[in-house]
Amino acid sequence: MEIVVRNLLENACKHAGASVHIRFTADEDGFVIQDDGVGIAGAHIDAIFERFWQLEKVEQHGHSFGLGLYLVKKIVVLHGWTIAVESKVGKGSLFRISFTS
């Protein structure tokens, strides 16, 4: 779970912009990480979990191999959890991890 949380928080920080707010909430059913950063275009939502896939702007935010969200998805699936993403360009992203299906 530490790897999942760390990767999601690092991505929120990396793609956040200068003055972003990141919120982490959790309960017995799972957790949510939400930011009000740059967001992800709807056409890219499925692709973000592919191995080595990166947004074009990654060069502006430091080095990345495109493995973070790939690992998040693999860990979530292996544990029988689910992950849902909601995002709007210019408004931010929300990642919800549910421990129950």
Predicted confidence (pLDDT) at residue 59 exceeds the cutoff of 50 = no
Which of 8, 23, 10, 4 is closest to 63 using CA atoms?
A: 10
Question: Which CATH number is 53's domain given?
Answer: 3.30.565.10
- In the predicted structure, residue 17 carries a pLDDT above the cut 80: no
Domain of residue 73: give its range.
Answer: 2-98
Number of domains in the chain: 1
Q: Which of 12, 7, 9 is nearest to 87 (CA)?
A: 12
The whole-number pLDDT of residue 65 equals: 66
As a whole-number percent, the residues of the chain with pLDDT over 90 amount to 52
Mean pLDDT of the chain: 86
In angstroms, the CA 29 to CA 22 distance is: 20
Q: What is the mean pLDDT of residues 20-49?
A: 91
The predicted pLDDT at position 43 comes to: 85
Ranked by mean pLDDT, the top range of 23-27, 47-51, 57-61 is 23-27
